[in-house]
Structure 1
């Protein structure tokens, strides 16, 4: 069944108005008719089964008939910080990262970033990235569209390390701690979040929760360098800021592969890959 992410203002209680590209897709591509059903999401976690009531030339009206549970959101809040790579590699990272369950993408500039960053083109690129993430979220049946930040400086990225429970720096020169060993610590984060969710302050007394997942999800930040890798100075600065430097095995991965590999490993550890 088709799934569409709409702006929150498109929801008026049970009445839904679909406009823009989504309306065009329904009208011109899907040849939708009144009575057809689709899934509509507000991008913030609400998903409803909706029955189309009116097909116009540029917009479609619908009525929500059933609230749907959130089944596509992971129990961990995972942020992927990717140094700007060449070509369309970042688009691949965002698309596949969304499918794997990432909740935020943070492009950043580092010493060895090859791409010439043009602030004048930032808005256009951001729009494209956010469109790619939205479409990937629809395809993978997510309930929330991951956030895409504007590119940050290295120093600005380091400040975000203090906002997460675990920051993982993917560093090809790390010969000691490998990701598999570091992931053993994630179990402690999972138990901590579950314990906090069970305390009275985590939920309203006497109110039944609609899901068995913790209300407070631990945050994990994965930092990936550009084609030339992170410099030794940057690795030291990241560790001083609280990040854990880790390798991803004996093989050197491309920059667009490293973040996805780390994400898949973390999601597997959290039981988000079917286990």
Structure 2
């Protein structure tokens, strides 16, 4: 069943008002009519089975018929810090990371990042990334959309990390050295609702200086198995491991 994310102000116990691009999707793409059912999710993570009662060019009205008890969130909160990669790889990380349950994405201005964030186009870039996250959340039947923020410097990242219980660096030099225990140990020590921050470098990896600063701030470097993963694959590996440990194990 099609799922839509609705601002909290547009949801009451008696009516849901859908606006923006979702109106076109409902009427023109899905070709829905009054009486059809959809699932509407609020910004707070509530979801309801709703029946469409009115379709206009600027809005769609629906009536909540059943509030759902959906358990779709990972049992822990995961923030993915992604060193700015080339091309559309950041979009891939956000799309697939959303499907796998990440809560927050923080692009990171790493020393070896080739791509630079254009401040003049920042608003448009963030809007596109948030749209990708929204569509991925709908497709994967999430009840929340992960947040995406503007790129962090190493200093601002370390400051942000102070509120997290578990802080990891995916470091290829550890993988080359055969390190395989840090991630597993961290998962075993973690409790439900703990906050994870995991840093991934860009194509060229993290510099020794960056790794040193992060370790001084309480981060633990870890390997991700015997193979060296592409930057857009590494976050997916860790999210899958977290899901397996907390949801399937």
The answer as to 2:230 corresponding to 1:263 is no
Cα pair distance change 1:46/1:263, threshold 3 Å: same
SS of the residue corresponding to residue 133 of structure 1 reads helix
Q: 2:19, 2:179 → 1: CA distance?
A: 48
Cα pair distance change 1:101/1:226, threshold 3 Å: same
- Cα offset, 1:262, TM superposition: 1.3
TM-score normalised to the size of structure 2? Answer: 0.95
1:84 aligned residue = 84
SS of the residue corresponding to residue 12 of structure 1 reads coil
Cα pair 1:177 1:245 within 8 Å, conserved: no
SS of the residue corresponding to residue 133 of structure 2 reads helix
TM-score normalised to the size of structure 1? Answer: 0.86
Pairing partner for 1:241 from 217, 223, 233:
217
Cα pair 1:183 1:266 within 8 Å, conserved: no
1:139 aligned residue = 139
* Equivalence map 1:23-42=2 (5 Å): 23-42=23-42
SS of the residue corresponding to residue 172 of structure 2 reads coil
Q: 2:31, 2:236 → 1: CA distance?
A: 36
- Cα offset, 1:220, TM superposition: 0.7
Gaps of 5+ in 1: 194-216
Q: 1:13, 1:176 → 2: CA distance?
A: 57
Cα pair 2:178 2:226 within 8 Å, conserved: no
Larger deviation, residues 119-128 vs 154-163: 154-163
Q: 1:63, 1:47 → 2: CA distance?
A: 12
1:189 aligned residue = 190
Cα pair 2:34 2:52 within 8 Å, conserved: yes
- Cα offset, 1:223, TM superposition: 0.4
2:95 aligned residue = 95
1:159 aligned residue = 159
The answer as to 2:228 corresponding to 1:227 is no
Gaps of 5+ in 2: none
Q: 1:185, 1:37 → 2: CA distance?
A: 43
Cα pair distance change 1:177/1:104, threshold 3 Å: farther
Larger deviation, residues 179-188 vs 69-78: 179-188
Cα pair 1:34 1:54 within 8 Å, conserved: yes
Q: Cα RMSD over matched residues?
A: 1.4
2:123 aligned residue = 123
The answer as to 2:109 corresponding to 1:109 is yes
Cα pair distance change 1:60/1:255, threshold 3 Å: same
- Cα offset, 1:5, TM superposition: 0.6
- Cα offset, 1:179, TM superposition: 4.8
- Cα offset, 1:188, TM superposition: 2.6
Q: 1:62, 1:253 → 2: CA distance?
A: 45
Q: 1:184, 1:241 → 2: CA distance?
A: 19
Cα pair 1:44 1:145 within 8 Å, conserved: no
Cα pair 2:4 2:40 within 8 Å, conserved: yes
